[in-house]
Structure 1
Amino acid sequence: MRADIVFLNGEVITVNALNEIAEGVAVKDNKIVAVGSNKEIKTYIGENTEVVDLTGKSLLPGFIDAHLHLTIYGTNLLGVSCLAPHINSLHDLFGDLKKRADITEKGEWIRAWGFNEHSLADKRFPTREELDEITRDHPIVITRMCNHISVVNSKALEMAGIHEETPDPDGGIIERDSQGKLTGKLIENAHMELFHVASFSDEELQKAHKLASDTFIQHGITSIHDAGGYGNGPDILRVMQKGVQSGDIKVRVYAMIGSLTDSEGFIEKMLDAGAVTGLGDDKFKIGPAKLFTDGSSTGPTIATREPYSSDANNYGIKYYEQDKLNEILGKAHKNGFQITAHAQGDRAVEMVINCIEEAVKNHPREDHRHRIEHAGVTPPDLQARMRRLNVIPIPNPAFIHVNGDSYIHNYGERVNSMYPAKDYLNHSIIAAFASDSPVVGCDPLLGIHAAVNRKTADGQAAGTNQCIEVMDAIRAYTYNGAYASFDEDIKGSIEVGKLADMVVLERSILQAKKEHIIDLKVELTMVDGEVLYRKETKVSS
């Protein structure tokens, strides 16, 4: 056999059962056909074989991000970025919003994303009145970085049918001032429900999905577990499938049946249609049924068993009571779905564990691989229950780097059991890493860096008892992600017969100083045996 492409002289991190390091890999069509020494791999070289000399650089399995938001990431790129370098104040942001309004047809939405009040000189949210001064002809929505809170103008409130007498939705708050006047700030489910009217067209979604996929490929991400977007879930799923079929979406997609707007209704529609987890192929597959149980770790709105360290009266927000959670996800489990839920606080994590325990007791199933998205604050008693039930947590190590300072402020010593990667290893709990992008950047190397170092961007230690080794972090971003989607037999490691999804780094990750992992860059990304990205040059079929 002659290979289409071979890699030689590399640090091939196989992530196989023995964590073996090889020198080279041979690829034929879309599969890995050989892994071994340079001498072994050279026998696969023919006159038409492309030979890549890695010169000691790391070759890894393609990164698998086990929880991000493809649609939100892409649609954000269509809007006004609050993260633009020149935006240091609300005045700066208002200027960009006014420019966007000037070129946008009246009645169309003006959207901004990535807002963080703490990063601006004003240290506050804009008011409804300030946004009204920008435009009364366009609805404006500014979404906070956590994607759980937004602030809108009067036109947006009008279009959403929200007025002074509108009651708070379950699991949400329509903020009012001391006189009962709407401030424009929408929290949790009030924010989510806004997108019943602030949804995107099919054309916008198609463009957004391509933009997001291209960005993920550049970061070495070859598979994603999509955690849903704003708007009608079935519509987004349909457009996403079409994007995979057309080739606009080049990453492999494991699509959760969940939406930031109406997860419960989405799950019901899929149950009625008879679809279950696993339907699809290696390019696009239906994933778990997913609900929200609490809020944002930086809001802060997560549901905790003890009050916040920063507020003795705050225990966060719950979206569901236990019985309702059990009913919705229990039905999905009974009908064959893998089930999961967004749960950040220990109260919410406990509720999801209770739900999984009840579902499995009532309808036993071998190898269910039920998950908990984020599992933010997860102390030892909850870890023990997760282990007994074989639950897969999906932690976000990059959150420690980006948000660690606020975690210490709001949760105190509980930071030592937030996204507890070391504890998971010690308890043989398989945890799959994820970015939750666009909440933070999608770069897996940032997540690996954070898991290894457990320090904030300012260098403050944030639960260093949970530091893990580089190889363990790589496994959590590759093989464990494949396991969490029942795909470990076809991807997640560099082994003969598996799909040729691989990534080359600009130098050795195992030889790099731990504190410098964050500086590493992706040099090449391969999906299905095709090189889709080379540093500075994108390659498309």
Structure 2
Amino acid sequence: MTKLLIKNANIIDMVGTTPYLGDILVENGKFIQIEEEITEDEADVLDAEGRFLIPGFIDTHSHLLLYGLYKSLVELTPQAVGNIGEIQTALKQRADVTPAGEWVVGHGYSEIELAEDRHITIDELDAISTEHPIYIRHSSAHMGVANSRALEIAGINEETPDPDGGYFARTDDRLNGLLFELPAVEMMLPHLPKPSKAEMIEALAVAESDYISKGITTASEACVGLAHGKDDYDAFMAYIKQENAMKLRLMIDYQLMLESESLKELSFDELKQQIEDLSQGQCTLDSAKFFQDGSIQINTAALTENYYNVDDKSHIIIPQEKLEALYMDFARRGYPLTTHGNGDAAIKSIIKAYAKVNADSDYEKVTRVEHIQTGKYEDIEAMKANNIEGSFFTNHLYYYGDKHYEKFLGPERAEKMDPARWAEDLGVLYTLHSDCPVTPISPLDTIRIACDRMTKSGRVLGEDMKLTRFEALKAMTISGAKLNCTESENGSVEIGKAADFVLLDENPLDDDIVLEDALIMYTFIDGDMVYKRD
């Protein structure tokens, strides 16, 4: 491999807190020399011209496959539609060019962003078409809305019992088309049009390209199985055989691993080895993935106190004894454990179960809580005491913070949402994430939100909960590497580590600089340029 010499870079190595001007020599995909000035006649030279060089971003929680697949669906995000009429127009435009009887599927729907501030109804979807089954996927991925034809195809009628952990909503004792939480949504998913394996592979390639353009050099797929069950796994296994640039980690849905004949008997080490062999080391197994509650913005996160807008706390998904038994089963097979927990009741349930696993002296793998949106100080203390790590969904502060403040949580709880500050102060290892496609993928945007804690309206939620620029950057670089147990390989600019780095036009640690994707000039992975701004 040709040597690469980066000249005149302002280096933010994530070892020290202050940028310094210097040169970096890369060989065989690794940093081999970092000095104030380096001369190397045989190297290709890139003059950074004073730009700021940082480690590549490590995204520890997003859904690459869903992100890529959603690009072929009808976009119903807040950026595309503002009211129910616009949703109907967008869906009708697709229905008009879709053969009768075939599906029309939308994504990114969020009722709290609509002018009407309510869900679209089954009647409003039926007004578009009753010949086409219509289904729209909520931005949270934890609910959806179906027209009557879609419910009929899925075999959901007035007599259908609610599945454990989910429910079919009703208005005046009549199904209204709203499906809440994964067990209910999963009754619809098998009937949706299935992308071919080739289409899924192409979706992953599109996602990888977009992620790299945002400066991401390592990404974790947060739930293989969430989109189309075992088909997800098959698509990923085909995709990783290709020559891909970005480093990939796979969290796999625990139910998929229990039900799949090819997976259910495998230990973590056995499955990890299979994945690494297929990908020639470019992809690895991250963990077994669990869900213990839903989403705040659809009132399904499990809280210890009632929601601000309804007399309800929601509930955990997996009963405590069953959760603990599941954890112990996967722990005995050597799996790191990752669990979705938004509400503080779910977080407490997860911590209690993890504490039992971590008390086993033979278990030395990572236990993680994902999102931690309404965790209380005592919960973060308990994470510290039980050696539990986490990742905060701080993007919610900007994208949904106003609604949480006014509607779902109320001012007091909203001010303390996504308490990464407490984790920082207590020394709990944590990262930040976008949960893309729930919110847009952009590490710089995520860092900005964690530091500003500002909502769309300009309201600041928790002045004393802000992170510094360095703390937030650390959470998306070296802390991500530590969470992934790869800190000896990446996450900082040090001799011997992979030359995964990004060149920014401005200093991201300067509070006067607006953090946005336009700052990214180059992304390099293993010393190869994989993105250059046009």
1:490-509 equivalences under 5 Å are 490-509=489-508
Corresponding residue for 2:397? 400
1:67-90 Cα deviation digits (max 9, x unpaired): 000111111111111137553322
| Preserved CA contact (<8 Å) 1:164 1:182 | yes
* Equivalent residue, structure 2, for 1:374: 371
Aligned to 1:465: 464
Q: Secondary structure at the match of 2:431?
A: coil
SS of 2:422's equivalent in the other structure is helix
CA spacing shift, 1:432–1:84, aligned 2, 3 Å: closer
2:232 is matched with 236
Letter in 2 for 1:153: N
**RMSD (Å), alpha carbons:** 2.3
Q: Is the 8 A contact 1:526 1:532 kept in 2?
A: yes
Give the conservation status (yes or no) of the 8 Å contact 1:264–1:328: no
Query: Partner amino acid for 1:258?
Result: D
Q: Distance in 2 between matches of 1:27 and 1:250?
A: 17
* TM-superposed deviation, 1:100: 1.6
Of residues 108, 117, 121, the one that matches 2:111 is 117
Of 325, 328, 336, which residue of structure 1 is paired with 2:326?
328
- Secondary structure, counterpart of 1:211 in structure 2: helix
Q: In structure 2, do the counterparts of structure 1 residues 518 and 105 end up closer, same or farther at CA, with 3 Å as the change threshold? A: same
**Which runs of 5 or more structure 1 residues have no equivalent in the other structure?**
537-541
Identify the match of residue 205 of structure 2 among 196, 206, 210.
210
- The superposition leaves residues 481-521 of structure 1 with CA deviations (integer Å, 9 ceiling, x where unpaired) of 1111211111111111111211111222123516x224753
What does residue 182 of structure 1 align with?
Answer: 175
SS at match of 2:381: helix
**Equivalent residue, structure 1, for 2:142:** 148
**For residues 275 and 369 of structure 1, do their structure 2 counterparts lie closer, same or farther at Cα, with a shift above 3 Å needed?**
closer
SS across alignment from 1:130: helix
Shift of 1:403: 1.4
TM-score by length of structure 1 reads: 0.91
Shift of 1:263: 5.2
Quickly say closer, same or farther: Cα 1:266–1:403, change in 2 above 3 A. Answer: farther
- In 1: Cα distance, 2:228 partner to 2:268 partner: 17
Work out the CA distance in 2 between the residues paired with 1:403 and 1:428.
27
Whole-angstrom distance in 1 between the partners of 2:40 and 2:189: 53
Partner SS state of residue 5, structure 2:
strand
Greater Cα offset, 182-191 or 279-288: 279-288
Deviation for aligned residue 1:204: 2.4
Q: Which residue of 2 is the match for residue 539 of structure 1?
A: none
- Spell out the pairing of 1:190-229 with structure 2 (5 A cutoff): 190-198=184-192, 199-228=194-223, 229=225
C-alpha contact 1:241 1:284 (8 A) present in aligned 2: no
Show the counterpart of 2:96: 102
- Distance in 2, matches of 1:271 and 1:89, equals 45
* Alignment gaps of 5+ in structure 2: none
TM-score normalized by the length of structure 2: 0.92
| Matched position secondary structure for 1:255 | strand
Q: In the alignment, what sits opposite 2:383?
A: 386
Rate the CA distance shift 1:193–1:36 in 2: closer, same or farther, 3 A: farther
Map of 1:20-99 to 2, 5 A cutoff? 21-37=20-36, 39=37, 42-46=38-42, 49-83=43-77, 87-99=81-93
1:196/1:231 contact within 8 Å kept: no
Contact 2:257 2:263 in 1 (8 A): no
**Contact persistence 1:291–1:341 (CA under 8 A):** yes
Residues 400-447 of structure 1: CA distance to partner in whole angstroms, max 9, x if unpaired? 121111222322322343221221111111102211011111100111
Which deviations, in whole Å up to 9, do the C-alpha atoms of 1:252-287 show, x marking residues without a partner? 11100127xx55745886342334475444411111
- For residue 300 of structure 1, what is the aligned residue in structure 2? 299
| 1:357 equivalent in alignment to 2:350 | no
Hey, what's the Cα distance between the residues in 2 that align with 1:367 and 1:423?
25
The reply on whether 1:163 has 2:157 as its aligned counterpart is yes
Q: CA deviation at 1:121?
A: 2.7
Q: Does residue 126 of the first structure (1) align with residue 95 of the second (2)?
A: no
Q: Please name the residue that 2:346 is paired with.
A: 348
Question: CA offsets per residue over residues 41-60 of structure 1, 9 Å max, x none?
Answer: x32342xx332222222111
The answer to whether the Cα contact below 8 Å between 1:499 and 1:529 also exists between their aligned partners in 2 is yes
Deviations 1:366-396 (A, max 9, x none): 5422111111112121111111221111112
Q: Specify the code of the residue in structure 1 equivalent to 2:253.
A: G
In 2, are the aligned partners of 1:13 and 1:22 still within 8 Å (CA)? Answer: no
Alignment of 1:421-460 (within 5 A): 421-460=420-459
**Partner residue, 1:319:** 317
Counterpart secondary structure, 1:498: coil
Q: Pairwise mapping of residues 9-28 of structure 1 onto structure 2 (< 5 A)?
A: 9-16=8-15, 21-28=20-27
**In 2, are the aligned partners of 1:258 and 1:267 still within 8 Å (CA)?**
no
- Distance in structure 2 (CA, Å) of the matches to 1:420 and 1:442: 21
Instruction: Name whichever of 263-272 and 296-305 sits farther off.
Output: 263-272
Maintained 8 Å contact 1:3/1:26: no
Give 1:335 deviation, angstroms: 1.1
